[in-house]
Amino acid sequence: MLHEGSVKPPLPRAERSPLFGRSPHGYREAVSRQMRLLVIEDDRALVAALCDGLAARGFAVDRAPSAESAFDLLRLNPYDLVVLDVGLPGVDGLTLLRTLRGHENPVPVLVLTARGEVADRVAGLDAGADDYLTKPFAFPELVARVHALLRRRAPAAPAVLRVGDLELDPRRFQVRRGALPVSLTAKEFAILEYFMRHAGELVTRTMLLESCWDENYDGLSNLVDVHVSRVRRKIEVAGAPPLLHTIRGAGFVLDERGR
């Protein structure tokens, strides 16, 4: 149960995770892309609320209703954090967690459970959980715990990113072009942050897909180009040089020097 106050085809990937192996990207690179979470929960109403709420806060979120489906996603994708319900049908959450740790996967795991006894919390932590949250819980507390776990893993990031007169503040979710504020959606903010962390470098559509979208993205659509066009339009200012450039047949470059 979630307290109020709360809330296609899989992507083609150049690198697949070995079975429960370490993320091929690593946590240092994770700060340069949208954080990707896996929510493993069989309660449909709860998982929908969690995924919608986390996505609204800028996370890419995949969901799995069972340990078996979670196994498949963990084989395919590197995740920055897992939210895991203990009371899953079939293979339970603690068994999945022990398997994960047995294969030396260090991904942070936040365990959700309706069992609030000390012995239950100890069992979860002994199985390899990084944090523990008892149902029912307030959604803002879950978000705070997610952020705390991610901070433990990620190195410090620059307070403000700058390319020319374009500034992006990841902590405050703010963007400015010169003296003018720029209003972006969570997805647009993630895309622009990725561009700014790779300023002057070629960014391909595949790189954006892997960093800013979850498993539900339809790889046949032009959604990436649509979002990039919106970001370009929003950061352009009359009289100022364009910053986001399309390299035909290759991708995009964010560069104050022009192309």
Domain ends where: 102, 123, 153?
Answer: 153
pLDDT digits (tens, 9 = 90+) for 50-108: 999 999 988 999 999 999 999 899 988 889 999 999 999 999 999 999 999 988 888 99
* CATH code assigned at 42: 3.40.50.2300
Omega of the bond leading into 136 within 30 degrees of 0 (cis): yes
pLDDT > 60? residue 258: yes
Q: Which residues pair with 244 in a beta bridge?
A: 254
pLDDT digits (tens, 9 = 90+) for 223-251: 899 999 999 999 998 888 999 999 998 99
Cα gap 138→5, rounded to integer Å:
6
Indicate the number of domains in the chain.
2
Report the residue count for the chain.
Answer: 259
114 and 95 within one domain: yes
The DSSP H or E segment spanning 232 is helix 223-235
Domain with 207 in it: 161-254
68 and 171 within one domain: no
117 and 173 within one domain: no
Q: Could you tell me if residue 48 is inside a domain?
A: yes
pLDDT digits (tens, 9 = 90+) for 160-212: 899 999 999 988 889 999 999 999 998 999 999 999 999 999 999 988 888 88
Domain ends where: 129, 153, 177?
Answer: 153
Q: Could you tell me if residue 259 is inside a domain?
A: no
Domain ends where: 153, 171, 191?
Answer: 153
180 and 82 within one domain: no
8 Å CB contact between 26 and 32: no
For residue 19, name the pLDDT band (cuts at 50, 70, 90).
very low
Q: For residue 111, give the amino acid letter.
A: V
234 and 182 within one domain: yes
* pLDDT given for residue 45 in this prediction: 95
176 and 146 within one domain: no
Q: Could you tell me if residue 44 is inside a domain?
A: yes
